[in-house]
Amino acid sequence: MSYVKYEQKDFVGVVTIDREKSLNALNDAVLADLETAIDGIDADKTRCVIITGAGQKAFVAGADIGAMSTMTPDEGRAFSAHGNAVFRRIEKLPMPVIAAVNGFALGGGCELSLSCDIRLASENAVFGQPEAGLGITPGFGGTQRLARTVGVGKAKEMIYATRNIKAAEALRVGLVNAVYPADQLMEEAMKLAQRIAGNAPIAVRQCKKAINLGLQMDIDSATALEPELFAACCGTQDQKNAMTAFCEKRKHDPFVNK
């Protein structure tokens, strides 16, 4: 991969968009590398994933405008579909994904962060969907995920008016979970990832499935789904280990994902 780096740190996988000179802007080549990295994650060895951008200026500053400027309608449709497919792969990963947003997250960068389960931001992070000012719509899920995350009114304001918001406002409206000094962001992201990885992997994955699927259902269907996912955890080695330890008032053994 030319534009994406992948590191395995114990049970945490770290994906870095590495096109720093172009502020990590997305084009088809970057999307292809990102897809390769995501598809290559070993689900047996990885309990949480962090996605970030190279350098200190940008997470992903958007899609490559130079590449988009000459696209025909058919090429635009294919590019949007490609980005949407990759971001859905991220969203549907069985383990939680944390976006460590280390600067500009505009356009496709904001959309990439929205495909993750949790967003942590550096103090210099900026979020926005500038597409309408460039004669296009958000094309990688922004019209859908932003409204589901910050509410319809705020999403429409950001998209229609192409209004960027800084980290503090992103925290206030619920777009990010926490804001940290830039030099502490990856450390804090790793702490959270390791805390997640320290819990029973089967249970965490079933929790993710329950939340993500349930949000797309009516409450009756969602609460009918929950017992099935609860049952899938019962009888696992990790469940027996943890509950026996709790009853015996001792610390449980490390979870083994079985």
Phi-psi region of 162 (alpha: psi -120 to 50; beta: other; left: phi over 0): left
Three-state secondary structure string covering the chain: CCCEEEEEECCEEEEEECCHHHCCCECHHHHHHHHHHHHCCCCCCCCEEEEEECCCCEEECCECHHHHCCCCHHHHHHHHHHHHHHHHHHHCCCCCEEEEECCEEECHHHHHHHCCCEEEEECCCEEECCHHHHCCCCCCCHHHHHHHHHCHHHHHHHHHCCCCEEHHHHHHCCCCCEEECHHHHHHHHHHHHHHHHCCCHHHHHHHHHHHHHHCCCCHHHHHHHHHHHHHHHCCCHHHHHHHHHHHCCCCCCCCCCC
Q: Which of 7, 75, 123, 131 is catalytic?
A: 131
111 part of the active site: yes
Paired residues of 249 in beta bridges: none
The crossing angle, in degrees rounded to 10, of helices 201-214 and 219-233 is 170
Q: Which of 35, 75, 91, 111 is catalytic?
A: 111
248 part of the active site: no
Give the catalytic positions in this structure.
111, 131
